[in-house]
Structure 1
Amino acid sequence: MLNFILKQANLPETSVKNTLALLAEDCTIPFIARYRKERTGNLDEVQIEQIVALKEQFETLEKRKKSIIKAIKEQGELTSDISAKIERTTNLTDLEDLYLPFKKKRKTKAETARKNGLEPLAKIIMSQNERDIESVAHRYTNKEVPTQESALEGARHIIAEWVNERTDIRTLIRKQLDRFAVISTKVVKAKKDDEKAQKFRDYFSWDESLHRCPSHRLLAILRAENEGFIRIKIEIDNERTLERIASKLIRSKGDCAEQIELAISDAYKRLLFPALSNETLVAAKKKADETAITIFAKNLKQLLLGSPLGEKRILAIDPGFRTGCKVVCLDKQGALLHNDTIFPHPPKSDLTGAINKISALTEKHNIEAIAIGNGTASRETEAFIKKIPFKNDIAIFIVSEAGASIYSASKIAREEFPNHDVTVRGAVSIGRRLADPLAELVKIDAKSIGVGQYQHDVDQSQLKNSLDRVVENCVNAVGVNINTASVPLLSYVSGIGPKLAENIVTYRDENGAFTSRNDIKKVPRLGAKAFEQGAGFLKIRNGKNPLDNSSVHPERYALVKQMAKDQGIKISELLGNIKALKNVPLNNYCTSEVGMPTLVDIIAELQKPGLDIREKAKVFSFNQSIKTIEDLKSGMLLPGIVNNITAFGCFVDIGVKESGLIHVSNLSDTFVKDVNEYVQLQQQITVKVLEVDIARKRIQLKLEK
């Protein structure tokens, strides 16, 4: 396994070896990355995830090797040479090619020809020594093979199967496909005028190099095909490829060469090209999936690490027209204090009643901020709220509703608010997202948050695994207040999981708040390993030990205590004491277990203990004169919020129903390799309107510095 990983990952051998050992000890990726830097050589989470992925790939390969060896052995065909070739194989494609001749096949033309006694004739043809092959073929005619031509045809079927099973020929065609494959599309005439097909009309007649086709375009083409609007073909220069195959097999001229040439053509058209072109398309789809999933993961990370407002008293509004605006009031911990409904918009238009109710609620509950969902009636509700003359200074925020409906109908929401309907739960979610996006968004399946295009078209298992890792990494990067965290949030903490998360909340409910990290050990079924993996990420505010609200792991408390003692002060006096911390001689504390990377982390944490790595939420306001797409004019400079990032650019909410697109070419005057280097999800930016297509509801924007 070690050699397999080292060949594919540009990482030091000791780092890989030690990481594998830590994984074997059931250590989690966040724990290894944060607290075992000396053993890994300071590998980050991405590098450790790469090792994990390669480890899983190796294990899958080894499992398949054992299965194949067993199958060939049961057929009595296993030789030392075949076994050695299988053992040397380092990828699944080559492994399956080796297994192909031994794979049990359904009834084939070649199998029928063998049963009819034509394999010897096929071998004679392949020897290319006979000048009059038709005379030879006559000897193989019988009741099932009545003519010379039928005998030759059967022999060619056997040769075609041999050609199909040759690994060198399959490799040759794969290389041709990898380099020269063209994907072309053609509209299904019966669907050409279908309204749903119009969004794919760019691909009604399209062709391009498959390996140059960007992820988003390939996924769009495949979706159009799946929905029955277009047909797809993969093409290469068939004549050139057939000539190259023939050069490997034909070494003479005459009848035998002619038969082999016919067999090659049959093998290529009937067996090789259909299978390998499909394999190439599947590989291209897999690559497109990986690219798209990487973008989704980056978007989700930015969303989860969005700016929290913190512990504030919040009034949240889920806007609506006909059904009204659902209003909830939350305390500093996000608990529901009151819910109501107002009708400031048509058809009821009870503006006065709505203003009076909002004013009364903000005063009664000492509201510090208002969160407004960004869905239907959002702009109108924001404008209405801004007309209210509040007694105190109340900040107004527009909050993304993505996935809120999923949460409000979920089991988690029903358990949290069994006596309230989905509209109340949705409004609560909007308010809590303002206070702490991460704590609220973890309650929703990451795939439902809406973090990119074509989410439903990529490999769903791979997408789930990737997004779950992002959530886990974000939760542990921020840390969790064990005394306020929900079960979903706690379940993502390193070493905890859903069952222990439930046990923690149950213990907290029955025994009151945790006052020290040592109290965590009292939670039923939370053993030493789980404590080791999770303790550093579980924080306790105002606890007995000030280090319990930091990312310093309990296993290093004695070390910090010694640092404080050597400085002649208490631990509490060391925290945030920049001058004292700068004077700590780190080299004096280096041991075989604790090296400079860990010591640097400890000092950084002691300088700002308990500091949230996320920026605080900022108030944002759209241009109030822009209400619809019809209000937009080329050249306008407008404030906007990035609400989606793709491989080809980003979409921006500028306060109208339709999001505008900043194409990669309009993000910078220089080449843009990664959109995320220029914008972040939920980032507040200024854009310039370049073009407005009202008919197609498309807005082209440019990023203004």
Structure 2
Amino acid sequence: MHYPQHIETISAELGIQPRQAVAVAELLSQEATVPFIARYRKEATGSLDEVQIAAIRDRLGQLAELDSRRATVLASLEKHGHLNDALRAKVEAAESLAVLEDIYLPFEPKRRTKATVAREKGLEPLAQAIMAQTGADPRGAALPFVDLEKGVTTLDEALEGAGHILAETINEDETARGRLRGLFQEKAVIRSTVAAGKETEGIKFKDYFDWQEPAAAAPSHRVLAMRRGEREDVLSLSMLPPEEQALAILEGLFVKSAGADSELVRLAAADSYRRLLSRSLETELRLNLKERADVEAIRVFADNLRELLLASPLGAKRVMGIDPGFRTGCKVVCLDRQGKLLHHDTVFPHTGAGQAVRAEETLRQLCRRFQIEAVAVGNGTAGRETESFVRGLGLPDGVVVVMVNESGASVYSASEAAR
């Protein structure tokens, strides 16, 4: 794992010391797990908890992915002769994949587009002249570009080709994409309609035959249901913000006056949005919503599974749970019949006779106080010794003492959910 260049970034973001981030990164590179680091490497990490360690791990992964893509972009730019010092600096300063891709977009090898064809016909200077918006007559400016040999037979064809170049230029503008991306994230609306003739076949999706809601607030189950309907060719989906707001952003960025050349720029901006920008940004939004919905769906499934797995195997009983240990003591909890925590304590039955006596008194008193019906002792370190100790307390006959498997308990206890 290559991490040194990211230590300062991660330290600043998480509010920790660089040495702590370095320690965690080194341990992760040795394939140490988050629970292991949190429990057994406190001295190395400065007592970082599992949430902080997991955050370092995740951020290192994100930055490594960014670095990998950055290297690919730089190699491509150099291969095609586009790389210069200024462009290299922009690429190296990109702090997210989205920003990096926006920088790379104008230089990325493309399939043959309308703008590509127009450039091959020599119309790029005309497009640049129109974009300058000096107030000159566009048709007069286009006259020298009519060339039968290049396939430009009329003024209208020349202006149309220049418009395609302008549309692609606007599509590749970093500022425009960034502003519109924010608009999509904040104002996009999911619209779902039924495909023609699918009303009967797709009856299970009838709730979404004519549905719309803000994308930012759409719950995961509805997003996934609509996507499933679209995948089965029952529903047609769109995820777009109000078009007038998107066009207003582009006009504010590119239209400089009210002349005929500015009108062509305005038309090119509208074409760029409808034909290029809206499609790519909608695809990006769809992926983001799908990822968010998947995470939420997994969370709901995990919550339901948790309730199932945490159902008491003994039925509704008041339970004392003991996590055994020698030097650090035995952690004790008392739970009611619904699993609610009533009390927690630590006893030291294995660190001397005096401590053992106090442990006996404490455990007996807790059993009486909370009317304990069963005692569960973990089978980890000191498990057998602790089980024997509890059985020797002379608890009432009705109190069941069992040893339980701790497999997975350490990992769970170090998780964010357990906290």
By the TM > 0.5 criterion, same fold?
yes
Tell me, in whole angstroms, the C-alpha distance in 2 between the residues paired with 1:297 and 1:574.
Answer: 45
Match in the other structure for 1:26: 31
Match of 1:254 among 259, 276, 283: 259
Alignment check: 8 A CA contact 1:576 1:607 kept: no
Supply the AA of the counterpart residue of 1:175.
G
In structure 2, the CA distance between the partners of 1:285 and 1:551, relative to structure 1 (3 Å rule), is: farther
In structure 2, the CA distance between the partners of 1:570 and 1:91, relative to structure 1 (3 Å rule), is: closer
- What SS class does the counterpart of residue 145 from structure 2 fall into? coil
In structure 2, the CA distance between the partners of 1:37 and 1:602, relative to structure 1 (3 Å rule), is: farther
Match of 2:65 among 34, 57, 60: 60
Match in the other structure for 1:345: none
Match of 1:122 among 111, 116, 127: 127
User: CA offsets, 1:367-426, max 9 Å, x none?
Assistant: xxxxxxxxxxxxxxxxxxxxxxxxxxxx9xxxxxxxxxxxxxxxxxxxxxxxxxxxxxxx
In structure 2, the CA distance between the partners of 1:575 and 1:216, relative to structure 1 (3 Å rule), is: farther
Displacement of 1:305 after TM fit? 5.3
Supply the AA of the counterpart residue of 2:134.
N
Tell me, in whole angstroms, the C-alpha distance in 2 between the residues paired with 1:85 and 1:551.
Answer: 55
Tell me, in whole angstroms, the C-alpha distance in 1 between the residues paired with 2:74 and 2:309.
Answer: 46
In structure 2, the CA distance between the partners of 1:578 and 1:603, relative to structure 1 (3 Å rule), is: farther
Tell me, in whole angstroms, the C-alpha distance in 1 between the residues paired with 2:117 and 2:353.
Answer: 84
For structure 1, the residue ranges without an aligned partner over 5 or more in a row are 310-394, 396-477, 479-548, 561-568, 583-600, 615-675, 678-705
Whether 2:152 is the aligned partner of 1:150: answer no
Alignment check: 8 A CA contact 2:324 2:386 kept: no
User: CA offsets, 1:6-37, max 9 Å, x none?
Assistant: 45446565543322222123312221122223
Tell me, in whole angstroms, the C-alpha distance in 2 between the residues paired with 1:9 and 1:612.
Answer: 38
Supply the AA of the counterpart residue of 1:167.
E
Q: What TM-score comes out, normalization by structure 1 length?
A: 0.45
Tell me, in whole angstroms, the C-alpha distance in 1 between the residues paired with 2:77 and 2:40.
Answer: 47
Tell me, in whole angstroms, the C-alpha distance in 2 between the residues paired with 1:75 and 1:12.
Answer: 42
For structure 2, the residue ranges without an aligned partner over 5 or more in a row are 1-5, 316-320, 330-347, 362-379, 390-401, 407-416
In structure 2, the CA distance between the partners of 1:218 and 1:570, relative to structure 1 (3 Å rule), is: closer
Displacement of 1:188 after TM fit? 1.9
Displacement of 1:252 after TM fit? 2.1
Match in the other structure for 1:579: 358
Higher RCO, 1 vs 2 (CA within 8 Å, ≥6 residues apart)? 2
Alignment check: 8 A CA contact 1:133 1:256 kept: yes
Displacement of 1:111 after TM fit? 0.5
Tell me, in whole angstroms, the C-alpha distance in 2 between the residues paired with 1:578 and 1:62.
Answer: 60
Supply the AA of the counterpart residue of 2:152.
V
Supply the AA of the counterpart residue of 2:356.
N
User: CA offsets, 1:144-192, max 9 Å, x none?
Assistant: 0000110011011111111000010001111111111110111123221
Displacement of 1:304 after TM fit? 5.0
Alignment check: 8 A CA contact 1:574 1:606 kept: no
User: CA offsets, 1:334-368, max 9 Å, x none?
Assistant: xxxxxxxxxxxxxxxxxxxxxxxxxxxxxxxxxxx
Tell me, in whole angstroms, the C-alpha distance in 2 between the residues paired with 1:88 and 1:79.
Answer: 14
Supply the AA of the counterpart residue of 1:579.
R
Match of 1:173 among 170, 180, 194: 180
Using the aligned pairs only, state the percent identity.
35
Measured on the aligned residues, the alpha-carbon RMSD in Å equals 3.5
Displacement of 1:245 after TM fit? 1.0
In structure 2, the CA distance between the partners of 1:297 and 1:16, relative to structure 1 (3 Å rule), is: farther
Alignment check: 8 A CA contact 2:180 2:249 kept: no
Displacement of 1:263 after TM fit? 0.8
Match of 2:213 among 208, 211, 220: 208
Trace 1:276-675 onto structure 2 (pairs within 5 A). Answer: 276-301=281-306, 303-304=308-309, 307-308=312-313, 577=356, 579=358, 612=404
Displacement of 1:603 after TM fit? 11
Tell me, in whole angstroms, the C-alpha distance in 2 between the residues paired with 1:23 and 1:77.
Answer: 37
Match in the other structure for 2:78: 73
Alignment check: 8 A CA contact 1:4 1:58 kept: no
Match in the other structure for 1:50: 55
Displacement of 1:574 after TM fit? 7.0
Tell me, in whole angstroms, the C-alpha distance in 2 between the residues paired with 1:117 and 1:606.
Answer: 88
Tell me, in whole angstroms, the C-alpha distance in 2 between the residues paired with 1:234 and 1:31.
Answer: 44
